[in-house]
Amino acid sequence: MPTVTSLDELARLVEKDDRLFVRWSRGPETDAEGSSRDELTGVEMPGLSANPLKVEEWWAPRPLVVWVARRLYDYSHLKHEKGPGVRPWILVGEELGRGPDNEPLVRCIRPIAWIDESVLGDAKRVVSEQKGKWGPMRRPSDT
C-alpha cells in the first residue's frame, strides 16, 4: 500500500472522494474481519470504527488542509493508546452504523494508503497555528 507523505497530498485525495475515512489500527490485513469491538462492553460492532475525512459544507471556503489536519490531530492519541504497530491509514468506506462514541462504523471497500508519521507532525503544527486552544480528543484531564 502506498504512503501519503504530506497534508497537501491527503487534501488532494479528500477533494476527489468524499467516501474517505481514517482508521487507526495495524492495517487492512489485520482488519480484514471487518468489525471493531466496543472497549467498554466487548460487544462486536457491525463495522470498523473510523473517522470521516469528508468536508462539511459549512467549512467552505476555509483551507482544506486545516480540515484534514484537525481530523488527524483529533484522534492522534490512538496511536499510543492502541499499542505497538497502530498507525493511521486511509480507506474508502461505506458507513454501516454508529458506535457508542457516535463514530462511524464502516465496511472497508478499498484501502488507499498509509499516513506517514511526518504528516501527523505537520497536522499538529497546523492545528497549533490556529487561534483557538485545541488538542487530541483524549486530553490530559481525561486520564
Q: Is the pLDDT of residue 140 over 90?
A: no
Q: Which of 96-100, 130-134, 138-142 has the highest mean pLDDT?
A: 96-100
Q: 32-75, pLDDT tens digit by residue?
A: 988 999 988 999 999 999 999 999 999 989 999 999 999 999 88
Q: 15-29, pLDDT tens digit by residue?
A: 999 999 999 999 999
Q: How confident is the model at residue 141 (pLDDT cuts 50, 70, 90)?
A: very low
pLDDT in the model for residue 110? 96
pLDDT in the model for residue 143? 42
Q: Which residues of 27-44 are buried (b: 16+ CB within 10 A; e: fewer)?
A: ebeebeeeebeeeeeeee
Cell numbers describing residue 1? 500500500
Q: 76-127, pLDDT tens digit by residue?
A: 888 878 888 999 999 999 999 999 989 999 999 999 999 999 999 999 999 9
Q: How confident is the model at residue 135 (pLDDT cuts 50, 70, 90)?
A: low
Q: What are phi and psi of 32, to 5 degrees?
A: -60, -25
**Pairing assessment for the beta strands 87-98 and 104-115 based on DSSP bridges:** antiparallel
Q: Identify whether the C-beta of residue 69 lies closer than 8 Å to the C-beta of residue 126.
A: yes
pLDDT in the model for residue 12? 96
